[in-house]
A and B are shown apart, each in its own frame.
Chain A
Amino acid sequence: MSTLKINNLSKKFQTNDFYSLENVNLEINAGDIVGLVGRNGAGKSTLLKLIAKSYIPTSGTIEYNGNNIFNNDYILKDVGIMIEPVFYSYMTVKENLEFYLEVHGKQEFKKNIDDILELVDLSKKKNNKPENFSFGMKQRLSLAIVLVDEPDFLILDEPFVGLDPYGVQELLEILQSWVQERSISMIISSHQLSELESICNRFVMLEDGKMKDIQIEGERSLGQYFTGGKDNK
């Protein structure tokens, strides 16, 4: 069963004379962990924001479980969206998670809060306000919010950016343990292929707004492409 189906999706911003995304087709099936790679400005965030419905497409459609997401409300109810770390900085960690669950009418997941905070290593900060958190902690809080209602589909835009190698490893381990325990589909973007290798089972590449599907065997040459051959194993 197809989970997410993107058909001929294009996006041109009014202020630009070029397409940030052009005729993109992509199908993400249940269980797919898709790595979305591409250079700065390739259109990764644009694509993910379209899926998250924060951008309106110029043309094309996105279907989630067979429903056009732009024609219906509450389609993304069970989708976790982390385009940038967001939360209310003047509310405590716990209040933020409670807010998210209540606003979506998902009180039944409140029992998950302690486990999720344990998973992202924020249990001790449960009653703190995230104002003065480090970047990594903010990132993990944001991830906790997204995971707390056990989404079926995850959208993560450059979740590793700004993290030190230890932070990247930590986040990867969180995601891996999450993926292992349940059937979930995911699309994660990054401009660093190496970060995605251990978690993704499929890669797609964007270049100047155009999609290039690549097989997992193509990884090596892709790595070469991104690092200019320097780091090529």
Chain B
Amino acid sequence: MKTMFCPVFRTVYKKKEAKICLLFCALPLFLIVTSLLPTNFMQLSGDAGSMSCMEFFEAVIFVQFQLTLPSIAFMYLAITCIHDEINKGNLYLYKDIPRIKIFLCKSISLLAWYGIYLMSTFFTSVFTYYVYVIKQPYASGVFFPTRLGDVQYIIIGLLGTISTIIVSLLLVVVLSTFLNNGASLIIGILFTLFCSIAPNLETINVIFPTGFLYTYESIGFSKAILFVLLISVIYLCVIGAVGIYKIKRIEF
């Protein structure tokens, strides 16, 4: 597995689709650009002295998620790695390495690329915060928020968004082993959309990793974290089981 990961990861990040994904890391930098223009686009506001660096980062991740374009870029990357390679016969290059191992390697590579994307977004966010945001009246100028409630909000928010993207990526990986590109992408996008409105839904919000953003205080923070993780793991298990069933039956 270890020996296989590096070469497989290279086939993922060398795609131009992978580079497109990374473009969205530049999102916070737009804030600096738009501040120079007479527009209301991406204007942040808030109580005076309330926004710490981590809160800004969480807001950036949230905006990226609401935009759905970065998610679509990643799902498209997944499709090109899975469906397109099955179609073009690239799997012949792997001969009879166990199929599960091949797809696991590809999935981990995609997740690793998402990790790099998150880290890059973190750096551009921190840069933007200390170069631009800090001069604004709503910035607090500290790295971590001082109120415990704000820290908890950041953790629930980030965990929900990141789990959703991980689940949707693996969902698309599995779907694209047997569906065409359009169908896989549409199902992936629908799932992401549901997750992005989930915090505003009642009762069924609990079946989405993002659903606890406004209710975690009523059920308790640690319980909410546990639920988010549990729901994500359930999704991953179901997706994994379908994946194992389908991958064994791929003919190309």
A residues whose Cβ falls under 8 Å from a Cβ of B: 49, 52-56, 69, 73-77, 79, 81-84, 86-88, 90-91, 95, 98-100, 102-105, 145
Q: Which residues of A contact B95 (CB under 8 A)?
A: 52-53, 76-77, 79, 81, 104
Q: Are A103 and B92 in contact (CB under 8 A)?
A: no
- B93 with A103: CB separation less than 8 A: yes
Interchain CB contact (< 8 A) of B14 among A73, A84, A90? A90
Given contacts A75-B96, A81-B95, A103-B94, 17 further A-B contacts (CB under 8 A): A49-B251, A52-B92, A53-B96, A54-B89, A54-B91, A56-B251, A69-B96, A77-B96, A88-B11, A90-B14, A91-B11, A91-B14, A95-B14, A98-B7, A99-B11, A102-B4, A103-B8
Q: A54-B251, A56-B251, A73-B98 are in contact. Are A102 and B93 (CB under 8 A)?
A: no
Residue of B nearest to A55 (CB): B251
**Neighbouring B residues of A100 by C-beta, 8 Å:** 93
User: Which positions 79-111 of chain B face chain A at CB distance < 8 Å?
Assistant: 88-98
Closest to A70 in B: B96
Which chain B residues lie closer than 8 Å to A49 at the CB level?
Answer: 251
| Docked-complex contact B16 and A73, CB < 8 angstroms | no
Of A56, A103, A105, most buried by chain B (CB within 10 Å of CB) is A103
The A-contacting residues of B in range 44-103, CB under 8 angstroms, are 88-98
A-B CB pair tally, cutoff 8 Å: 71
Interface of B is mostly: helix
- B4: A residues at CB distance < 8 A: 102-103, 105
B147: Cβ under 8 A from any A Cβ:
no
The B210-249 residues at the A interface (CB cut-off 8 A) are 249
Given the known A-B contacts A102-B3, A103-B97, are A86 and B14 also in contact in the complex, defined by CB atoms under 8 Å? no
Q: List 10 A-B contacts (CB under 8 A).
A: A49-B251, A55-B251, A77-B95, A86-B88, A87-B90, A88-B11, A88-B14, A95-B10, A99-B7, A103-B4
**8 cross-chain pairs, A with B, having the tightest CB-CB distances, nearest first:** A102-B7, A76-B96, A103-B7, A73-B98, A76-B95, A86-B89, A99-B7, A105-B3
Decide if A87 touches B96 in the complex (CB within 8 Å): no
For the complex, give the distance between the alpha carbons of A54 and B90 in Å: 11
B252 at the A interface (CB under 8 A): yes
Complex contacts, A83 vs chain B, CB 8 Å: 89, 92
A88 touches B7 (CB 8 A): no
Closest to B101 in A: A73
Question: Does the CB pair A73–B92 fall under 8 Å?
Answer: no
Q: Give the residue among B3, B88, B89, B95 with the most A Cβ atoms within 10 A.
A: B95
Docked complex Cα distance between A145 and B7 (Å): 15
